[in-house]
Amino acid sequence: MAVAEQIITAPLTKPRLRRAPLSLASFASYLQAIPLTLILAFFLLVPILFLLVVSFWDYDFARMYPGFITRNYAEVLGSWVTWKTYLNTLKFAVIVWAIALFIGFWVAYFLAFHVRSAAMQTVLFLICTVPFLTSNIIRMISWIPVLGRNGLINTTLVNAGIIPQPIEWLLYSDFAVVLAMVHLYTLFMVTPIFNTLMRIDKSLIEAARDAGASAWQIMWNVILPLAKPGIAIGTIFVVTLVMADFSTVQVMSGGQSASVALMMKNQMSLLQYPSAAANAIVLLVLVLLLVAAILRVVDIRKEL
Amino acid sequence: MHREKRTLGFYVLAAFFVVFVLFLYGPFSAIFILSFQGPSGGLTFPLNGVSVHWFFNLFEQQAVGNFGASFGRSLMLGLMVMVTTVIVSLLAGLAFRRKFTGGSPLFYLTIASLVVPSIIVSLGIGVLFQQIGFRPSWFTSAFGAHLTWTLPFGVLIMFAVFNRFSPSYEEAARDLGAPPWQTFRHVLLPMIAPSLIGVGLFGFSLSYDEFARTLLTAGTFNTLPLEIYGMTTNVTTPVLYALGTVTTLFSFIVIGGTVGIIALLGARRARAAL
């Protein structure tokens, strides 16, 4: 216990040694960073490196055979079906991102600039946050009674005489997939944008107005540039979540649409692990490239 | 703050906000209502009578899956993940208050943990455990898989907290002769307690609802989200909605309780400050 106390409290007592490289304080930092390092090393780094190895292995219906073959990659990169699946996933990412950005920005803008009391801001923000902390699958299947052939929307429209027969593409279509993804992931856009908007000094806006800027100019030249970091962080969240999604695509398209992760999941259920691993590596490289591109726009470490 | 007259923009955006909230909560209210479907009712409207039949059905032996046992596992796993996330994130947050060699790579590894697609984590841990001969189970491999999702959130929240935290409180305590442990226990900890509770809520909720990372790492016994995921393809009665209602209400209670505790802490501190 005494040791634990020392580990926890040591940094608080030695701030003046901050710059000394081998001080007791930096030793404490190492000790404090050990649990995080070990967990991420064992459950993130090692498994991914292992997948890289496995992606070169051979396999049959029963087991995997260690080796070094490039057939798994040849299958991934050489197949027109796989390319179409990757393009389809990117298509979902772009559409969902654009819609989430539009909704997320205006919701955050409303909360940050139009709601005047801090208490009201907190309450409204919590209302937006609560669904995020409930089950994704439940939120997804809750669209079924709304969108289905005999669902709420179709029944209402038919009974009102607006349409002669139920609309078929509401559920089990790309439309349903995009709708459910926007429903699931827009919050990841609202939160970071709200966070950056809240930190904009209101006097900057007043100064712009006093200098004769129109509402449009204030938005374009003052608010948007300052909101860029939040938009970037939200973009990282939404894009990576959509790129990784298999359940929404599976449930909401009724098996009619495909995504990379869904393809991986099917390979996994057929025990084609090396094949799935090759897909995992390609997907990972693609996602990391996208994130790296976004990070060029903004240093998120400064923004926390 | 001076009060201006509300502009047209305000009303447009307020209406937009209301529509967004309806969009967020609307579908859930549909399954909430449908979970009270009569015994002969189906998966869609209209209601065929009102009953709690499907809630009772939930606790009976199911053709597919066992709700009670998987709920117990998810609850236990969520609590394990919560405690680990709070402690590890706090320690990492303290570590990052100073620059240290390797700090930057560790930070980027944490961010990577957030952006790596969940199914890749699931596949990687699952295949790794299989090859080194460990049997995957919800309290080992799935536990680790969940931590790769909850820890980045925890660490980033602690980052944000300590970035805004003035060291002068600790300096004052030290100048008054408080030993390190007292400074930590009586100065730092009470000030960051609400954030730690928030980290705990994130840790629990994210784990309790996670299933992509559990897919290949849960081993023999399913967690609740896996059970629900299985039910989406096999179950064609409103019992699915009853389960959705019960587990969502459980989430609401957890969130409400946590927000209540944070508000209580804030009120107590405000009173102490007077």
- For B58-77, write each residue's pLDDT tens digit: 777 655 557 778 888 999 99
Residue of A nearest to B84 (CA): A35
Q: Is residue B158 within 8 angstroms of chain A, CB to CB?
A: no
Query: How far, in Å, CA of A84 to CA of A255, rounded?
Result: 15
Q: Do B100 and A127 touch (CB under 8 A)?
A: no
Q: How much is the pLDDT for B118?
A: 93
Q: Does the pLDDT at position B160 exceed 90? A: no
Residue of A nearest to B169 (CA): A12
Please give the structure tokens belonging to residue B100.
Answer: 């240290």
What is the full DSSP assignment across B212-244? TTTTTTSBTSPPHHHHHHHHHHH--STHHHHHH
Chain A contact set for B88 (CB, 8 A) = 35-36, 39
The residue whose two tokens read 């001076």 is B2
Contact list, B103 vs chain A (CB under 8 Å):
29, 33
Q: Note whether residue A240 is domain-resident.
A: yes
A229 domain-assigned: yes
**pLDDT tops 50 at residue A6:** no
Of the listed ranges A240-244, B175-179, B266-270, the one predicted with least confidence: B266-270
CA B37/CA A29 separation, integer angstroms? 57
Q: How far, in Å, CA of B52 to CA of B238, rounded?
A: 11
Residue B237: per-residue pLDDT: 78
Domains of chain B: 65-234 (1.10.3720.10)
Cβ distance B167 to A6 less than 8 Å, yes or no, reads no
Ranges A27-31, B11-15, B231-235: which has the least confidence: B231-235
Specify the 3-state DSSP secondary structure of A58: strand
CA distance B28 to B34: 10
Q: Using a CB-CB distance cutoff of 8 angstroms, which residues of chain B are in contact with residue A243?
A: 117
CB contact under 8 A, A301 and B211: no
pLDDT at A12: 40
Buried b / exposed e along A231-241 (16+ C-beta atoms within 10 A) = bbbbbbbbbbb
Q: What is the DSSP letter of A222?
A: I
Which pLDDT band, with edges at 50, 70 and 90, does A283 fall under? very high
pLDDT over threshold 90, residue B268: no
Residue B217 C-alpha, separation from nearest chain A C-alpha, in angstroms:
11
**Residues forming beta bridges with residue A59, ordered by sequence position:** A64
Residue A20 domain-assigned?
no
Task: Cite the DSSP H helix spans in A186-223.
Answer: 187-198, 202-210, 215-218
**What is the C-alpha separation between B241 and A140, in angstroms, rounded?**
12
Report how far residue A73's alpha carbon sits from residue B153's, in angstroms, rounded to the nearest whole number: 33
Q: Give pLDDT, residue B62.
A: 58
SS3 B266: helix
User: Any idea how long chain B is?
Assistant: 274
Q: What is the pLDDT of residues A187-216, one digit of tens each?
A: 999 999 998 999 888 899 899 989 988 888
Is the Cβ–Cβ distance between A47 and B122 less than 8 Å? no
Q: Residue A110: its pLDDT value, please? A: 94
Question: For A111-159, what is each residue's pLDDT tens digit?
Answer: 999 888 888 888 899 888 888 888 888 888 889 888 888 888 888 888 8
d(CA B22, CA A175): 19
Domain for residue A16, yes or no? no
**If you average pLDDT over every residue of chain A, what do you get?**
86
CB A20 within 8 A of CB B98: no
Dihedral sign computed on CA atoms, order A288, A291, A293, A297: negative
CA–CA dist B85, A9 (Å, integer): 19
Listed residue (B129, B158, B163, B157) closest to B144, CA to CA: B129
- The CATH number of residue A213's host domain is 1.10.3720.10
Q: Nearest Cα to A92, choosing from A176, A187, A190?
A: A176
pLDDT at A190: 94
Q: Chain A to chain B, count of Cβ pairs less than 8 Å apart? A: 280
Of chain B, the percentage scoring pLDDT greater than 90 comes to 32
Q: Which residue of A has its CA nearest to B155?
A: A36
Question: Confidence class of residue B124 from pLDDT cuts 50, 70 and 90?
Answer: very high
The pLDDT assigned to B203 comes to: 93
pLDDT at residue A304, as a whole number = 60
With CB atoms and an 8 Å threshold, state whether A44 touches B112.
yes
Q: Which residue of B has its CA nearest to A45?
A: B109
B-chain residue closest to A143, CA distance: B27
* pLDDT score for A67: 82
Three-class SS state of A151: coil
Number of domains in chain A: 1
Count CA atoms closer than 13 A to A129's CA, side-chain side: 19
- Residue A255: half-sphere exposure toward Cβ, Cα within 13 Å: 3
Output the average pLDDT for chain B.
86
| Domain interval for residue A230 | 82-303
Do the beta carbons of residue A277 and residue A54 sit within 8 Å?
A: yes
CB contact under 8 A, B232 and A21: no
Instruction: Report how far residue B101's alpha carbon sits from residue B103's, in angstroms, rounded to the nearest whole number.
Output: 5
Q: Do B147 and A39 touch (CB under 8 A)?
A: yes
Nearest to B226 by CA among B85, B122, B116: B122
Question: Quick check: A107 pLDDT over 60?
Answer: yes
- Residue A252: closest CA among chain B residues belongs to which residue? B232
Whether A267 is covered by a domain: the verdict is yes
Model confidence at A23, pLDDT cuts 50, 70, 90, reads low
Nearest to A41 by CA among B139, B144, B200: B144
Closest residue in B to A254 (Cα) is B233
Cβ–Cβ of B124/A51 closer than 8 Å? Answer: yes
pLDDT attached to residue A51: 93
Tell which of A29, A48, A89, A90 to mutate to test the B interface (max B CBs under 10 Å).
Answer: A29
**In B, which residues are within 8 Å of A236 by CB distance?**
115
Q: Are B31 and A283 inside 8 Å of each other by CB?
A: no
Residue carrying structure tokens 């029963």: A62
B144 touches B125 (CB < 8 A): yes
Quick check: B270 pLDDT over 70? yes
Contact B118, B212 (CB under 8 A): yes
Contact B225 A32 (CB under 8 A): no
d(CA A56, CA B109): 24
- Is B142's pLDDT higher than 90? yes
Q: Which residues of chain B lie closer than 8 angstroms to A135, CB-CB?
A: 208-209, 225, 228, 244, 247-248, 251
- pLDDT, residue B1, reads 44
Q: How far apart are CA A197 and CA A183, in angstroms?
A: 22
Chain B contacts of A18, Cβ < 8 Å? Answer: 98-99
Chain A CB contacts of B159 under 8 Å are 304
CB contact A30 to B (< 8 Å): yes
Residue A282 lies in a domain: yes
Test B14 with A144 for CB contact under 8 angstroms: no
Does residue A9 have a pLDDT over 50?
Answer: no
Query: Which of B150, B162, B153 is closest to B84 using CA atoms?
Result: B150
Residue B170 touches partner A, C-beta closer than 8 Å: yes
